Structure 1
Amino acid sequence: MVERHDTVVIGGGQAGLAMSYHLQRHGREHVILERGRIAERWHAERWDSLRYQFINETIELPGLSYQSADPNGFAHYTAVAQFIESYAAHIAAPVREGIAVTSLRHEDDYVLETTDGVVRARNVIVATGPFQAPMIPMAGRDLPHSLYQVHAANYRGPQELPPGAVLVIGSGASGCQIADELQQAGRSVHLSVSRHKRVPRRYRGKDVLWWFEKMGRFDVTIDNFPQRRYPPSTIITGVNGGYDMDVRRFARNGGRVLGRLLASSNGQLATGDDAAEILGEADKTYDEFISAAKICAAKFESSGELEPDDHHSQAPSVAEIDGARTVDLAAEGISSVIWATGYRFDYGWIEIPVLGSQGAPIQQRGVTASPGLYFLGLHWMHTFGSGLLSYVGRDAAYIADHLKDTAKR
């Protein structure tokens, strides 16, 4: 007998659970299918020292806030995973763990082939996470087999790497944090940079997230960007109480900064001469943030909320940036490569024409052209907050309302 449901949610992480909350609010019958365990990626794809990048008082899912004795601190990733698990219990989410969806097609309704049999549903919400399959550039295939290579999703800490220098490729939030950690562990580190945005961890006593909220950054939608392409990642960290991330400081402390990786052959890397340009762009985003925060601060001067202006320097810090175009791995003693090069979409199992040429869902705030099929929790799906734990509930509420409105027609 084929199992049937009104709505199936695929994925038991924060997005799927927030969706369950709002489906329950509308009294809509549903089930959540999770390939592993609740919050699987929080358990399995985080390095040992990682702390959540936003302060504790901002951690929440619809109907439940994270409780901490240090509201301005940064929770260890294991505490976040536990919070998500407790949230599932709190809302009595109908999660079935250990069931992977292997194909999704549409007939009279949606047909899901799973590792536990066939499931049919009127509606399907794909909430499999903002970061899916680790992506390693083609150049990685040409590196010497003797090198230890690991993607940031599977990196755990300095102790797992063999002796020798380390090459970190990519300077998004993960790449910069890992490069910092390795440097502080006494490793010789080379960092091949990519485009990123730099901001202060705190300004006038308030966390950067507070400023983002007050400046309306979370209300800016993807439609404001040409071709709906989201901007570079913002580098922040919650490690050691949270501090400013700055590739130039990494360089001042002895790290070697290289341009983007272009190719590799016979143990030689070819890198671009764009490192200085990339860091210059990051400095500009820092300056722009401070300027915008100064304007925004005028609204709160009389409230006593803000500390005195600590005169954050808008001038880029001095650091030597390597202009090398080639790197000899053996000569530099590089024994390990960490790929902090992001992720690709992994929707090959969806047999419905709702994907673009690069495999990205074609959607508008989660709504697709296939009635009853939705996506949730993607990076910049609608706004910067769409893929973030504390903000995914907004899009979940929108989809629940859309389902309700559609059913009335």
Structure 2
Amino acid sequence: MSRSSAAAREIDTLVIGAGQAGLATSYWLSRAGVEHLLLEQRPELGGAWQDRWDSFYLNTPNFAFLLPGMTYDGPEPDAFLPRDGVIELFREYARRIAAPVRVGTEVSRVARADGGTTAGSGFAVDTSQGNWLARNVVLANGAYQRPRIPPSAAKLPRHITQQHSHDYRNPAQLPEGAVLVVGTGQSGGQISEDLLDAGREVHLSVSACPEAPRRYRGQDMFYWLLEVNLHGPEYGINGLQAAALASPAARFMCNPLISGNAGGHSIRLRDLGRRGVRLHGHYEGTDDGAITFSDDLAARIALTESAFGQRMQVMLDSYILSAGIEAPVAESVPPVDWQPSGSGARLDLGAEGVTSVIWSTGYGLDFGFLDIPVLDEWNYPRHFRGVTEVPGLYAVGLPWLTKHASSTVAAVGMDAEYVAGHLAGR
């Protein structure tokens, strides 16, 4: 046992992270009578929602707020919460369940307490507020920890302001001039709209994230997605279960291009183009003051438009049919009369007056503190239903932990319940 471990405080279970996954786990651990403490590196509760921009609205409707012990019971189940409302709701949840949280505590190392020689012997956990010995550790630090920025960003001219979407708050942060947004996931699409609403000139690099209708067959899109997540296997429809993924890489595929702003709506690339956004292909790199993109813009837009109908729509329709649900026929999507001009394969930053680049290029998992060989080639813990191959080490709240919605407020509580039950049974 190390010198630091000898002086450490002892506890049954440490939960790393006090966002939705950590709080849901705390709920079930308390009900099982398990002594535990949540360690949160941020100075205040509210999780990664505190890292969103000022105009952000939750993309899932209020009815999908299904944390154990607290669900949305307000007058607008089909509406969407703004960022500050989401943060306050999580703080209220922590108060309601009396979660034992220590904020401002960053975990720097988690290792086997005995160096890994004895199964189930516990863990040495080093933090900015002292060290611990824990019988169990739950990794609940989420999927939005390490912003991804391509290495070639370092080659951009120094006068160009660069931000990841993680740090973007509002257009006033940026210098005057045009803005390039790289990536058309939900963040890229919504930030582009935020900039447009502020009257900024916007360039947008298109990735492969699919467009989708905000509402489908009489319900919000997330209603059907949640139904298939939770009940699809009952009818032989397993497309949103982790076991059905074709590749481990699919755990990180982007979500449909929709928004909770303005009452909820879908984001369509052609509509952004019609409103004045200059669309470009996939970001490839920098070249002497210019940025290069893939020369396939028209095909790329067509791909994003067709993806929903090719896979997701078929799955949702099959579920509705198999479950015997009476639902109206699919709504027709009116075409947008706009075509890209040119290939959008090169952007001269100086000539086009671009002064800022926002990297909406997603996040990577961050388990840099984990000194235990339990991660796969994708930096994802090897596990079954959140129970890793190392006795006493668990994971909750990761994308596709057990299903597509595992990291959302609608389904994280289910995985947390299983993990807490397994942990208590030890």
TM-score of the two chains, using structure 1 as the length reference: 0.92
Deviation string 1:369-395 (CA, Å, 9 cap, x unpaired) is 211111111122221111112211111
Counterpart check, 1:281 vs 2:319? no
Relative to structure 1, is the Cα distance of residues 85 and 207 closer, same or farther in structure 2, using a 3 angstrom cutoff?
same
Relative to structure 1, is the Cα distance of residues 279 and 115 closer, same or farther in structure 2, using a 3 angstrom cutoff?
same
In structure 1, runs of 5+ residues without a counterpart are none
Deviation string 1:76-116 (CA, Å, 9 cap, x unpaired) is 11111111111111111111111111111102420001111
Q: CA deviation at 1:227?
A: 2.5
Q: For 1:35 and 1:216, locate their aligned partners in 2 and report how far apart those are by CA, in whole Å.
A: 31
Match of 1:175 in 2: 188
**Residue identity matched to 1:146:** H
In structure 2, runs of 5+ residues without a counterpart are 1-6, 115-120, 233-239
Q: CA deviation at 1:13?
A: 0.8
Q: For 2:308 and 2:255, locate their aligned partners in 1 and report how far apart those are by CA, in whole Å.
A: 13
Q: For 2:260 and 2:341, locate their aligned partners in 1 and report how far apart those are by CA, in whole Å.
A: 26
Q: For 1:140 and 1:203, locate their aligned partners in 2 and report how far apart those are by CA, in whole Å.
A: 39
Q: For 1:218 and 1:254, locate their aligned partners in 2 and report how far apart those are by CA, in whole Å.
A: 42
Aligned-residue RMSD, C-alpha: 2.2
Match of 1:58 in 2: 64
Within 5 A, what are the aligned runs for 1:210-359?
Answer: 210-216=223-229, 220-230=240-250, 231-288=253-310, 289-294=312-317, 306=327, 309=329, 311-313=331-333, 318-320=338-340, 322-359=342-379
Q: Report the number of matched residues.
A: 402
Match of 1:100 in 2: 106
Counterpart check, 1:128 vs 2:128? no
User: Would you say the 8 A contact 2:16–2:139 is kept in 1?
Assistant: yes
Q: For 1:197 and 1:256, locate their aligned partners in 2 and report how far apart those are by CA, in whole Å.
A: 19
Q: For 1:31 and 1:310, locate their aligned partners in 2 and report how far apart those are by CA, in whole Å.
A: 48
Match of 2:165 in 1: 152
Deviation string 1:349-369 (CA, Å, 9 cap, x unpaired) is 111101233433223322212
Higher mean C-alpha deviation, range 82-91 or range 361-370: 361-370
Deviation string 1:257-311 (CA, Å, 9 cap, x unpaired) is 11111110321111112333332222122324445555555579986xx5x5473
Counterpart check, 1:190 vs 2:203? yes
Relative to structure 1, is the Cα distance of residues 95 and 169 closer, same or farther in structure 2, using a 3 angstrom cutoff?
same
Match of 2:237 in 1: none
User: Would you say the 8 A contact 1:222–1:228 is kept in 2?
Assistant: no
Q: CA deviation at 1:2?
A: 2.4
TM-score of the two chains, using structure 2 as the length reference: 0.88
Higher mean C-alpha deviation, range 224-233 or range 84-93: 224-233
User: Would you say the 8 A contact 2:374–2:389 is kept in 1?
Assistant: yes
**Residue identity matched to 1:320:** P
Counterpart check, 1:114 vs 2:127? yes
User: Would you say the 8 A contact 2:171–2:195 is kept in 1?
Assistant: yes
Which of 146, 151, 156 does residue 143 from structure 1 map onto?
A: 156
Q: CA deviation at 1:40?
A: 3.6
Q: SS at the partner of 2:224?
A: helix
Relative to structure 1, is the Cα distance of residues 180 and 228 closer, same or farther in structure 2, using a 3 angstrom cutoff?
same
Q: CA deviation at 1:343?
A: 1.0
